[in-house]
Chains A and B, each alone.
Chain A
Amino acid sequence: MENPSGASDEELLAAAAKGSERAFGILVDRHQQAVRAFLRRVAVNRDEADDLAQETFLSAWSSAGSFRGGSAVRSWLMGIAWRKAKSAARSLFRGMARDGAYEQRALLEREEGAGIEDRLSLQKALGGLSLEQRAAVALCLASDFSHGDAAEALGLPLGTVKSHVARGRAKLVEALGGRS
Protein backbone atom coordinates (compact mmCIF):
# COMPACT_ATOMS: atom_id res chain seq x y z
CA MET A 1 0.00 0.00 0.00
CA GLU A 2 1.70 3.19 -1.20
CA ASN A 3 -0.37 5.83 0.59
CA PRO A 4 -2.14 4.27 3.56
CA SER A 5 -3.44 7.61 4.84
CA GLY A 6 -5.72 7.96 1.82
CA ALA A 7 -6.87 4.34 1.83
CA SER A 8 -10.39 3.27 2.75
CA ASP A 9 -11.09 1.52 6.05
CA GLU A 10 -11.62 -1.76 4.22
CA GLU A 11 -8.26 -1.46 2.46
CA LEU A 12 -6.52 -0.63 5.73
CA LEU A 13 -8.13 -3.60 7.45
CA ALA A 14 -7.10 -5.90 4.61
CA ALA A 15 -3.52 -4.62 4.92
CA ALA A 16 -3.67 -5.12 8.70
CA ALA A 17 -4.85 -8.70 8.15
CA LYS A 18 -1.62 -9.22 6.19
CA GLY A 19 0.39 -7.85 9.12
CA SER A 20 0.72 -4.12 8.37
CA GLU A 21 0.93 -2.36 11.73
CA ARG A 22 1.20 0.98 9.93
CA ALA A 23 -2.18 0.47 8.26
CA PHE A 24 -3.70 -0.67 11.53
CA GLY A 25 -2.27 2.38 13.31
CA ILE A 26 -4.09 4.64 10.87
CA LEU A 27 -7.28 2.68 11.47
CA VAL A 28 -6.83 3.16 15.23
CA ASP A 29 -6.33 6.90 14.69
CA ARG A 30 -9.52 7.10 12.65
CA HIS A 31 -11.81 5.24 15.01
CA GLN A 32 -10.36 5.54 18.52
CA GLN A 33 -12.45 8.57 19.35
CA ALA A 34 -15.74 6.89 18.41
CA VAL A 35 -14.92 3.59 20.11
CA ARG A 36 -13.68 5.26 23.30
CA ALA A 37 -16.66 7.63 23.43
CA PHE A 38 -19.05 4.68 23.03
CA LEU A 39 -17.33 2.68 25.76
CA ARG A 40 -17.12 5.67 28.12
CA ARG A 41 -20.88 6.03 27.88
CA VAL A 42 -21.45 2.32 28.38
CA ALA A 43 -18.85 1.72 31.09
CA VAL A 44 -19.09 5.05 33.02
CA ASN A 45 -15.49 4.75 34.28
CA ARG A 46 -13.11 6.41 31.81
CA ASP A 47 -10.05 4.31 32.63
CA GLU A 48 -11.99 1.07 32.39
CA ALA A 49 -13.54 2.25 29.12
CA ASP A 50 -10.14 3.07 27.65
CA ASP A 51 -8.80 -0.35 28.71
CA LEU A 52 -11.77 -1.96 26.96
CA ALA A 53 -11.11 0.20 23.90
CA GLN A 54 -7.53 -1.05 23.76
CA GLU A 55 -8.75 -4.64 24.07
CA THR A 56 -11.25 -3.91 21.30
CA PHE A 57 -8.49 -2.85 18.92
CA LEU A 58 -6.30 -5.81 19.92
CA SER A 59 -9.18 -8.16 19.09
CA ALA A 60 -9.73 -6.29 15.83
CA TRP A 61 -6.07 -6.82 14.95
CA SER A 62 -6.34 -10.55 15.68
CA SER A 63 -9.56 -10.99 13.74
CA ALA A 64 -8.93 -8.51 10.90
CA GLY A 65 -8.90 -11.40 8.43
CA SER A 66 -12.42 -12.42 9.43
CA PHE A 67 -13.99 -9.09 8.37
CA ARG A 68 -16.26 -9.89 5.43
CA GLY A 69 -17.29 -6.37 4.48
CA GLY A 70 -21.01 -6.84 5.20
CA SER A 71 -21.00 -3.71 7.35
CA ALA A 72 -18.90 -0.59 7.82
CA VAL A 73 -15.61 -1.06 9.64
CA ARG A 74 -16.80 1.34 12.35
CA SER A 75 -19.91 -0.78 12.99
CA TRP A 76 -17.73 -3.89 13.09
CA LEU A 77 -15.44 -2.24 15.67
CA MET A 78 -18.44 -1.12 17.73
CA GLY A 79 -19.69 -4.71 17.67
CA ILE A 80 -16.39 -5.92 19.12
CA ALA A 81 -16.45 -3.10 21.69
CA TRP A 82 -20.01 -4.02 22.69
CA ARG A 83 -19.10 -7.69 23.19
CA LYS A 84 -16.12 -6.63 25.33
CA ALA A 85 -18.37 -4.37 27.39
CA LYS A 86 -20.92 -7.17 27.88
CA SER A 87 -18.20 -9.61 28.96
CA ALA A 88 -16.95 -7.08 31.49
CA ALA A 89 -20.50 -6.17 32.53
CA ARG A 90 -20.37 -7.89 35.90
CA SER A 91 -17.38 -5.92 37.09
CA LEU A 92 -18.73 -2.79 35.38
CA PHE A 93 -21.99 -2.98 37.30
CA ARG A 94 -20.18 -3.78 40.54
CA GLY A 95 -18.04 -0.68 40.23
CA MET A 96 -20.67 1.50 38.65
CA ALA A 97 -21.99 3.22 41.77
CA ARG A 98 -18.50 3.86 43.07
CA ASP A 99 -17.18 4.93 39.68
CA GLY A 100 -20.20 7.07 38.98
CA ALA A 101 -19.54 9.03 42.16
CA TYR A 102 -15.83 9.20 41.33
CA GLU A 103 -16.53 10.42 37.81
CA GLN A 104 -18.88 13.07 39.16
CA ARG A 105 -16.18 14.32 41.51
CA ALA A 106 -13.63 14.23 38.68
CA LEU A 107 -16.02 16.15 36.45
CA LEU A 108 -16.53 18.79 39.13
CA GLU A 109 -12.78 19.12 39.59
CA ARG A 110 -12.12 19.24 35.85
CA GLU A 111 -14.69 21.75 34.85
CA GLU A 112 -16.74 24.58 36.11
CA GLY A 113 -19.54 26.54 34.52
CA ALA A 114 -23.17 26.64 33.69
CA GLY A 115 -23.28 23.28 31.93
CA ILE A 116 -21.83 21.27 34.78
CA GLU A 117 -25.18 20.47 36.39
CA ASP A 118 -26.58 19.23 33.10
CA ARG A 119 -23.49 17.09 32.57
CA LEU A 120 -23.86 15.57 36.03
CA SER A 121 -27.57 14.95 35.49
CA LEU A 122 -26.86 13.32 32.13
CA GLN A 123 -24.17 11.11 33.62
CA LYS A 124 -26.43 10.07 36.48
CA ALA A 125 -29.29 9.33 34.11
CA LEU A 126 -27.01 7.30 31.83
CA GLY A 127 -25.89 5.30 34.87
CA GLY A 128 -29.54 4.51 35.60
CA LEU A 129 -30.16 2.93 32.18
CA SER A 130 -29.71 -0.76 31.49
CA LEU A 131 -26.53 -1.76 29.67
CA GLU A 132 -28.38 -2.34 26.38
CA GLN A 133 -30.27 0.93 26.67
CA ARG A 134 -27.04 2.79 27.34
CA ALA A 135 -25.38 1.16 24.35
CA ALA A 136 -28.31 1.97 22.05
CA VAL A 137 -28.44 5.57 23.29
CA ALA A 138 -24.65 5.93 22.98
CA LEU A 139 -24.74 4.81 19.36
CA CYS A 140 -27.93 6.44 18.11
CA LEU A 141 -28.10 9.68 20.10
CA ALA A 142 -24.44 10.37 20.74
CA SER A 143 -22.67 8.83 17.73
CA ASP A 144 -25.20 9.40 14.94
CA PHE A 145 -25.63 5.71 14.14
CA SER A 146 -28.86 4.79 12.37
CA HIS A 147 -31.12 2.38 14.23
CA GLY A 148 -30.26 -0.28 11.66
CA ASP A 149 -26.50 0.16 12.04
CA ALA A 150 -26.84 0.14 15.83
CA ALA A 151 -28.94 -3.04 15.69
CA GLU A 152 -26.23 -4.70 13.59
CA ALA A 153 -23.39 -3.55 15.85
CA LEU A 154 -25.20 -4.60 19.04
CA GLY A 155 -26.61 -7.82 17.61
CA LEU A 156 -30.14 -6.82 18.69
CA PRO A 157 -33.41 -6.77 16.74
CA LEU A 158 -34.22 -3.41 15.12
CA GLY A 159 -37.41 -3.00 17.16
CA THR A 160 -35.54 -3.58 20.42
CA VAL A 161 -32.99 -0.92 19.53
CA LYS A 162 -35.71 1.58 18.62
CA SER A 163 -37.46 0.88 21.89
CA HIS A 164 -34.21 1.20 23.91
CA VAL A 165 -33.40 4.50 22.23
CA ALA A 166 -36.89 5.91 22.81
CA ARG A 167 -36.99 4.88 26.47
CA GLY A 168 -33.40 5.90 27.10
CA ARG A 169 -33.96 9.28 25.46
CA ALA A 170 -37.08 9.86 27.54
CA LYS A 171 -35.13 9.21 30.75
CA LEU A 172 -32.26 11.48 29.70
CA VAL A 173 -34.66 14.25 28.69
CA GLU A 174 -36.47 13.91 32.01
CA ALA A 175 -33.14 14.13 33.86
CA LEU A 176 -32.35 17.34 31.99
CA GLY A 177 -35.67 18.78 33.02
CA GLY A 178 -37.31 18.64 29.62
CA ARG A 179 -40.30 16.84 28.18
CA SER A 180 -39.96 14.15 25.51
Chain B
Amino acid sequence: MSEIDEKLAALFAEDLPPARDASFRIAVLAGIERRRVAVQLALLTAVCALMSLVLWSFAPMIAPWLIGQGEVIAALCTAAVLVWACVVAVRQGVRA
Protein backbone atom coordinates (compact mmCIF):
# COMPACT_ATOMS: atom_id res chain seq x y z
CA MET B 1 0.00 0.00 0.00
CA SER B 2 1.43 3.40 -0.99
CA GLU B 3 1.86 6.25 1.44
CA ILE B 4 -1.08 8.17 0.01
CA ASP B 5 -3.33 5.08 0.26
CA GLU B 6 -2.31 4.68 3.89
CA LYS B 7 -3.12 8.34 4.47
CA LEU B 8 -6.51 7.90 2.83
CA ALA B 9 -7.25 4.78 4.88
CA ALA B 10 -6.21 6.58 8.08
CA LEU B 11 -8.44 9.56 7.28
CA PHE B 12 -11.41 7.29 6.55
CA ALA B 13 -10.78 5.35 9.76
CA GLU B 14 -10.78 8.56 11.84
CA ASP B 15 -14.32 9.34 10.80
CA LEU B 16 -15.96 6.06 11.80
CA PRO B 17 -19.10 6.01 13.94
CA PRO B 18 -18.73 4.15 17.27
CA ALA B 19 -18.46 0.37 17.05
CA ARG B 20 -21.16 0.02 19.72
CA ASP B 21 -24.02 2.48 19.88
CA ALA B 22 -26.90 1.51 22.14
CA SER B 23 -28.91 4.62 21.22
CA PHE B 24 -28.82 3.71 17.54
CA ARG B 25 -29.90 0.13 18.29
CA ILE B 26 -32.73 1.40 20.52
CA ALA B 27 -33.84 3.85 17.82
CA VAL B 28 -34.03 1.03 15.25
CA LEU B 29 -35.95 -1.29 17.59
CA ALA B 30 -38.31 1.58 18.52
CA GLY B 31 -38.92 2.13 14.81
CA ILE B 32 -39.79 -1.55 14.41
CA GLU B 33 -42.23 -1.29 17.32
CA ARG B 34 -43.81 1.87 15.88
CA ARG B 35 -44.25 0.15 12.53
CA ARG B 36 -45.81 -2.90 14.23
CA VAL B 37 -48.26 -0.70 16.17
CA ALA B 38 -49.17 1.18 12.98
CA VAL B 39 -49.88 -2.11 11.16
CA GLN B 40 -51.99 -3.41 14.06
CA LEU B 41 -53.89 -0.13 14.24
CA ALA B 42 -54.59 -0.19 10.51
CA LEU B 43 -55.77 -3.80 10.77
CA LEU B 44 -58.00 -3.02 13.74
CA THR B 45 -59.47 0.00 11.95
CA ALA B 46 -60.21 -2.10 8.87
CA VAL B 47 -61.88 -4.83 10.96
CA CYS B 48 -63.96 -2.24 12.86
CA ALA B 49 -65.01 -0.59 9.60
CA LEU B 50 -65.99 -3.96 8.15
CA MET B 51 -67.94 -4.90 11.27
CA SER B 52 -69.73 -1.55 11.22
CA LEU B 53 -70.64 -2.07 7.58
CA VAL B 54 -71.96 -5.57 8.26
CA LEU B 55 -73.99 -4.37 11.26
CA TRP B 56 -75.36 -1.45 9.28
CA SER B 57 -76.33 -3.79 6.40
CA PHE B 58 -78.13 -6.22 8.70
CA ALA B 59 -79.56 -3.61 11.06
CA PRO B 60 -83.14 -3.85 9.70
CA MET B 61 -83.13 -7.61 10.39
CA ILE B 62 -81.33 -7.50 13.73
CA ALA B 63 -83.03 -4.45 15.24
CA PRO B 64 -86.42 -6.09 16.09
CA TRP B 65 -84.63 -9.02 17.77
CA LEU B 66 -82.32 -6.68 19.72
CA ILE B 67 -85.30 -4.64 20.95
CA GLY B 68 -87.11 -7.83 22.04
CA GLN B 69 -84.07 -9.21 23.87
CA GLY B 70 -82.85 -5.86 25.24
CA GLU B 71 -82.98 -6.78 28.95
CA VAL B 72 -81.16 -10.09 28.46
CA ILE B 73 -78.44 -8.43 26.34
CA ALA B 74 -77.95 -5.66 28.90
CA ALA B 75 -77.59 -8.23 31.69
CA LEU B 76 -75.11 -10.28 29.65
CA CYS B 77 -73.05 -7.18 28.81
CA THR B 78 -72.95 -6.11 32.47
CA ALA B 79 -71.86 -9.62 33.52
CA ALA B 80 -69.16 -9.68 30.82
CA VAL B 81 -67.78 -6.29 31.93
CA LEU B 82 -67.74 -7.40 35.58
CA VAL B 83 -65.91 -10.65 34.72
CA TRP B 84 -63.38 -8.73 32.61
CA ALA B 85 -62.82 -6.20 35.43
CA CYS B 86 -62.30 -9.05 37.94
CA VAL B 87 -59.79 -10.78 35.64
CA VAL B 88 -57.83 -7.54 35.18
CA ALA B 89 -57.86 -6.84 38.95
CA VAL B 90 -56.66 -10.37 39.77
CA ARG B 91 -53.89 -10.18 37.16
CA GLN B 92 -52.68 -6.83 38.48
CA GLY B 93 -52.82 -8.20 42.03
CA VAL B 94 -50.75 -11.21 41.03
CA ARG B 95 -48.19 -8.99 39.28
CA ALA B 96 -47.93 -6.66 42.31
Contact = CB atoms under 8 A, between A and B. Distances in A.
A15 interface: no
Nearest to B19: A33
Given A28-B25, A54-B27, A180-B4, A33 B16 contact: yes
A36 interface: yes
Nearest to B18: A33
A70 interface: no
Contacts of B16: 33, 37
A2 interface: no
Contacts of A32: 17, 21, 24-25, 28
Contacts of B7: 118, 176, 178
Interface in B17-38: 17-21, 24-25, 27-29, 31-32, 35
A58 B11 contact: no
B50 to A, nearest CB: 25
B15 interface: yes
Category for how many chain B residues contact A = 20 to 34
Contacts of A25: 25, 28-29
A115 interface: yes
Given A32-B21, A141-B8, A141-B9, A40 B15 contact: yes
A36 B24 contact: yes
Interface string A10-46: 0000000000010011001100110011001100000
Contact of A173 (B8, B19, B20, B29): B8
Interface in A49-79: 50, 53-54, 57-58, 61-62
B12 interface: yes
Given A141-B8, A172-B8, A28 B17 contact: no
Contacts of B29: 21, 24-25, 28
Given A21-B32, A54-B27, A115-B14, A178 B4 contact: yes
Contacts of B18: 33
Contacts of B15: 37, 40, 119
Contacts of A179: 4
Interface of B: 3-4, 7-9, 11-12, 14-21, 24-25, 27-29, 31-32, 35
Interface of A: 21, 24-25, 28-29, 32-33, 36-37, 40-41, 50, 53-54, 57-58, 61-62, 115, 118-119, 122, 141-142, 169, 172-173, 176, 178-180
